[in-house]
Amino acid sequence: MGMVEVRLESLSKQYGSVTAVDSVSLTVGQGEFFSLLGPSGCGKTTTLRIVAGLEQPSAGRLWFGDRDVTRLPTHERRIGMVFQSYALFPHLSVAGNVAYGLRARHEARADIGPKVERALERVRLGGLGQRRVHELSGGQQQRVALARAMVLEPDLLLLDEPLSNLDAALRTETRAELRRLQREAATTSLYVTHDQEEALALSDRLAVLRDGRLQQVGTPREVYSQPANAFVATFLGRANLAPATVAERVGDTWTVRLDNGEHVTGSGHTDLAPGSRALLCVRPESLVPAESGLVGNILDIAFIGQRYEYEVSLAGQRWLACEANRGQSARERGATTRWAVEPDAVRLLPYEEVSCDGVAEP
């Protein structure tokens, strides 16, 4: 079984006046599960199709290891593909679908049966080979599509929103299954999704795209806790974003002055010098009721079971805060309390205009 390192080098794709992919460079390591995450229309599918050889880039190169594959035809790339629509052959049995690629490759007849059965067992569909495709649930059909791709032992697996046609419960279950399978097979995988939770849960690393341009690459933890800009901060989870001015910086510890005059201290690297404008990024779970801190009035309370969510009027904006439910009773709407910001959990982002509610969500 192969696994390949995939390198995109300044790849661009132009459709008339639309730049679908804008000079994207990134490397997917051998055996890595790597996701492309971004809103609809940001160029994920186009990027995947370039890697598959289904589209030619307008500029840039594509490498599999040290091999330039930019012009290599799809059928010579040793890739497996799984799409949002299962694209199974309705007139074939489950086994017939999985065997299709092996037959096309003229594998020995005696090998095909056992390989198909093993592939079906791996996706937990052992014994269902003789079923018709339409006799299976959506989740099962998507696992057939996965078995059909994996039975060919590709060097690279490309997946384009494979879970988005499944209902919520099935999506979570199939997601876990997919992760298990990818770990077992250790096939380099490039996964496309607009669902941030999916990308966080599945990926070794991920890239966030916007308007065809790469915003950030990192592990799920890095991208969530150290977003590069306001777009990444709000696309991955929820974030309170407050305009501020850098008041002081000593090593990696800094203090900013919010526009209402209150101060917040945080730690972590920043290039912003004192006097610079910045955006302070505070995740709701990092803003907690405390003895001292920012003054905020509770506008609204939602009880979510495992936690309380507060909408707080703070620094002239509406912020979101969370408090774990440890059996305590709810705070009161209209109450004014102090809110502490955990220094290790706040970030300074490059300044840009934000809407006045300060709680940005995608």
Ligand X SMILES: Nc1ncnc2c1ncn2[C@@H]1O[C@H](COP(=O)(O)OP(=O)(O)O)[C@@H](O)[C@H]1O
Residues interacting with Mg ion, by CB under 5 A?
45
CB atoms within 10 A of CB 333: 12
The two three-digit tokens of residue 70, written as one number: 């930019």
Q: Tokens 């690629």 sit at which residue?
A: 101
Q: Is 45 in the site for ligand X (CB under 6 A)?
A: yes
Q: Is 15 in the site for ligand X (CB under 6 A)?
A: yes
Q: Is 20 in the site for ligand X (CB under 6 A)?
A: yes
- Amino acid making up residue 332: E
Shortest distance, position 47 Cβ to ligand X, whole Å: 7
Q: Is 324 in the site for ligand X (CB under 6 A)?
A: no
Shortest distance, position 33 Cβ to ligand X, whole Å: 19
Shortest distance, position 150 Cβ to ligand X, whole Å: 23
Pairing of strands 79-82, 156-160: parallel
Nearer to ligand X among residue 54 and residue 302 (C-beta): 54
Nearest to 339 by CA among 275, 281, 284: 284
- From the list ligand X, Mg ion, none, which binds 18 (C-beta under 5 to 8 Å, kind-based)? ligand X
Three-state DSSP class for 317? Answer: strand
- From the list Mg ion, ligand X, none, which binds 46 (C-beta under 5 to 8 Å, kind-based)? ligand X
Q: What is each CA distance from 356 to 88, 187, 258, 259, 333, in whole angstroms?
A: 48, 45, 13, 12, 21
The H-assigned helical ranges of 60-158 are 94-104, 109-122, 138-150
Q: Tokens 């404008």 sit at which residue?
A: 277
Q: Is 18 in the site for ligand X (CB under 6 A)?
A: yes
Q: Is 41 in the site for ligand X (CB under 6 A)?
A: yes
Q: What is each CA distance from 15 to 21, 42, 43, in whole angstroms?
A: 10, 13, 11
Q: Is 306 in the site for ligand X (CB under 6 A)?
A: no
With CB under 6 A as the contact rule, which of the stretches 15-23, 168-176, 199-207, 320-328 interacts with ligand X? Answer: 15-23
Shortest distance, position 46 Cβ to ligand X, whole Å: 3
Asked whether the beta carbons of 244 and 257 are under 8 A apart, the reply is: yes
Asked whether the beta carbons of 102 and 67 are under 8 A apart, the reply is: no
DSSP H or E segment with residue 37: strand 33-37
Q: Is 44 in the site for ligand X (CB under 6 A)?
A: yes
Q: Is 35 in the site for ligand X (CB under 6 A)?
A: no
Closest CB to Mg ion: residue number = 45
The two three-digit tokens of residue 127, written as one number: 């014994």
List phi, psi (to 5°) of 241: -120, 120
With CB under 6 A as the contact rule, which of the stretches 41-49, 97-105, 137-145, 163-171 interacts with ligand X? Answer: 41-49
The two three-digit tokens of residue 294, written as one number: 């920012």
263: which strand partners? 257
Shortest distance, position 19 Cβ to ligand X, whole Å: 8
Shortest distance, position 192 Cβ to Mg ion, whole Å: 6
- From the list ligand X, Mg ion, none, which binds 42 (C-beta under 5 to 8 Å, kind-based)? ligand X
Nearer to ligand X among residue 32 and residue 160 (C-beta): 160
Q: Is 43 in the site for ligand X (CB under 6 A)?
A: yes
Alpha carbon distance 7, 5 (integer Å): 7
Nearer to ligand X among residue 53 and residue 284 (C-beta): 53
Q: Which of 37, 42, 81, 119 binds ligand X (CB under 6 A)?
A: 42
Shortest distance, position 149 Cβ to Mg ion, whole Å: 18
Shortest distance, position 25 Cβ to ligand X, whole Å: 17
The residues binding ligand X (CB under 6 A) are 15, 18, 20, 38, 40-46
